Structure 1
Amino acid sequence: MSDALLARMLDVLTPDIVANLKRAVELGKWPDGQRLSPEQLETCLQAVIVWEKQHLPTTEHSGYIHKAEKEGEVCDDPTAAEKPVKFLH
């Protein structure tokens, strides 16, 4: 599929159409019961991902997993290297 064709397709997608595409991907079939071909599945999934990236915040993307910080777990703590190590017997 050409980039121009994909861009035109994405321009006409509405939230309702995207919801229907997501449902088809989830079930593996169209609303009439006909199974999606592997190519249709891939195209629908790509369209949903690109549309969500353009129109939704990251926290609303399909498959988004929120990872809350655990207490005491800070990756960017500049003093972490300066803390002494304690050995327990």
Structure 2
Amino acid sequence: MDVEQLLSAMTPDVYDRLLYACETGRWPEGSVLSQEQKDSCMQAVMLYQSKHNVDPQHMSVAAGGEIAFKSKAELKKQFSAEQEDIVRVKVAEN
């Protein structure tokens, strides 16, 4: 299977499973990945990101294959904007 066939066959669900496996070293079902599986998953994730990642996070592969870096200021701005959606609840102390 060549790269284009792999990318056209990879669904967002498959990508999410591979990404989870790369991040945790385990399949979502819990079994541990071998080193060969880790390497293959990482390659597939990076290829998928290079085609589909239009909103890259800090240090990831963006669409087009460019490695995207966000500065500390950009990340703070992004996270502070996202926190507006968080509801804060003050817990009463006994």
Q: What range is the shorter-chain TM-score in?
A: 0.5 to 0.7
Count of residue pairs brought into register by the alignment: 65
Quote the residue 1:42 is aligned against.
39
Structure 2 distance, partners of 1:63, 1:39, is 23
How far the C-alpha of 1:38 sits from its partner, in A, is 0.7
Aligned-pair identity in percent equals: 34
- Alignment partner of 1:66 is 2:70: yes
Q: Secondary structure at the match of 1:60?
A: coil
Do the aligned residues in 2 keep the contact of 1:53 with 1:61 (CA within 8 Å)?
no
* TM-score (norm: length of structure 2): 0.57
* Alignment-derived partner of residue 15 in structure 1: 12
Structure 1 unaligned residues grouped into runs of 5+: 70-89
Give the alignment's Cα RMSD to 1 decimal.
2.3
Specify which structure has the bigger relative contact order, considering alpha-carbon pairs within 8 angstroms and separated by 6 or more residues. 1
Distance 1:7 1:61, change over 3 A: farther
Question: Is the contact made by 1:18 and 1:48 (CA closer than 8 Å) also made in structure 2?
Answer: yes
**CA shift at 1:46, angstroms?**
0.6
Instruction: For structure 2, list consecutive stretches of 5 or more residues without a partner in the other structure.
Output: 61-68, 75-94
Larger Rg: 1
Contact 2:18 2:45 in 1 (8 A): yes
Partner of 1:84 in structure 2?
none
Higher strand share: 2
- How far apart are residue 20 of structure 1 and its match? 0.9
